[in-house]
Amino acid sequence: MVLPGAQPVSGLWATLSSHGNGPKQLWGHALLQVESLVPANPKVWWFRGLRWAQPSVQHLRQLMRHVVENRAEARRRGAAARRRMVELYSPEATGRLVAAELRRVNDLIP
């Protein structure tokens, strides 16, 4: 499973996400403001009954303008997000967590 935004961040691509998606710890900075929650795509069965965050277009424009006007800051934030992604969510890091959990569960078995 790939976290939404994981591939773009690990590749240093520009990425914006809303608070409604919950990745603030990954990005480590303010995210898009959410105007409302809207029904998810009902044509896809696993989305039925769920709601998606509808981000603020005005706030998106402000953030995009800030990135264009502050490219050095954007590069620093992107590099920091990539470091967090590699340290916490790379296949190797995830594998270590899974292996540790499997050892913990195995130790519970008599």
Note the pLDDT tens digit of each residue in 35-87. Answer: 888 898 888 888 888 988 888 899 889 988 998 999 999 888 888 888 888 88
- Return the domain boundaries, the chain: 6-105
Read off the pLDDT of each residue in 23-43 and give the average, rounded to a whole number.
72
**Chain mean pLDDT for the chain:** 79
Instruction: Output the pTM of the full model.
Output: 0.59
Task: Give the pLDDT of residue 27.
Answer: 54
pLDDT at 1 over 70: no
Both structure tokens of 1: 């499973």
DSSP H stretches of helix in 2-110:
6-10, 24-27, 57-69, 71-89, 91-108
| R_g of the chain computed on alpha carbons | 18
Coil vs helix vs strand at 51: strand
